Structure 1
């Protein structure tokens, strides 16, 4: 019997889960007024979770489940790539759409964040000239634009998904025998 479930379709629920986690982290940080520049642990924990732990764990779980339950115990690296990149890109799309909507609902958030970033930049680089500060803040403003940040996030998470998928693929790979 032919199975019509692809690794990417199988991984959709994991991508939605990851996207919801990203959104919830953002909302919690906003509601609880946690500033990663003041609380270094918060920034470290979020970065570890969002870029290392969650993408790897969700890719591993999705690929392993696909291997065992759908693909008769076999898994190729390309199937793992499809699952892992699907998970991270879908999560980034969910987060990107949320960020755009959040910007419409709370436009003051962007200005408050910009001011905090500018203060931290001045504090960390007291020898910075006014021209250098102006130039760096120009780039910060560009990347704070939700229409720039959302696509950039999708591309960044696609690369992260690719890297994690390759690692998971090497770990879980089991090719189908040529002759059965």
Structure 2
């Protein structure tokens, strides 16, 4: 049997798929529980913890295949690759969700936002409320939503891999300087 070498691309793909499917699983669970429009704050915490864990494990795997060495650029590249793949999976699921599963998603989300605005700002005039809702309408839709998912995923992936990379980095220069 041939001994195949694991490449950084394979690691990014595997961990990105893992994170993407975990994100989809959380979204499906929210939908099944009827919490799509108003999820509990703990869902965000759990999602972030899963994201941190998967990206850090991916970076750790890169360090392993590099015999214990890791540069900051390798950590950033790995973390961003994982985040991009998972973001693309979540975008694909989201497009299916808003097109076929819940076609009224954006209209219902606007209703939820309107209720929250009325509760939070009871002194808003009708004009202010209408202006806020118009802005929300402009910022909703499948393409804007997809862009927000990708940008958010990459931003979080960058922060996690930057911190993880700074903590885990180990280069030849560090060893020779000791």
TM-score when normalising by structure 2: 0.86
Q: Mean alpha-carbon deviation: is it higher for 109-118 or for 14-23?
A: 109-118
Do residues 84 (structure 1) and 79 (structure 2) align?
Answer: yes
3-state SS of the aligned residue for 1:14? helix
Moved over 4 A (4+): none
Deviation of the 1:36 alpha carbon? 6.2
Aligned residue in 2 for 1:15: 16
Matches for 1:46-61 after TM superposition, within 5 Å? 46-50=43-47, 52-61=48-57
Deviation of the 1:58 alpha carbon? 1.1
Give aligned pairs, total.
170
Name which of 23, 41, 44 aligns with 1:44.
Answer: 41
Gaps of 5+ in 1: none
3-state SS of the aligned residue for 2:156? helix
Deviation of the 1:147 alpha carbon? 0.8
Q: CA RMSD in A?
A: 2.0
Matches for 1:141-156 after TM superposition, within 5 Å? 141-156=137-152
Superimposed CA distance per residue, residues 72-124 of structure 1 (whole angstroms, 9 cap, x where no aligned partner) = 11111111101111111111111112111111112123222221221121111
Q: Distance in 1 between matches of 2:12 and 2:40?
A: 28
3-state SS of the aligned residue for 1:128? coil
Q: Alpha carbons of 1:118 and 1:148: their partners in 2 closer, same or farther (altered >3 Å)?
A: same
Q: Distance in 1 between matches of 2:142 and 2:154?
A: 18
Matches for 1:1-180 after TM superposition, within 5 Å? 5-6=7-8, 8-34=9-35, 37=38, 42-50=39-47, 52-68=48-64, 70-105=65-100, 106-177=102-173
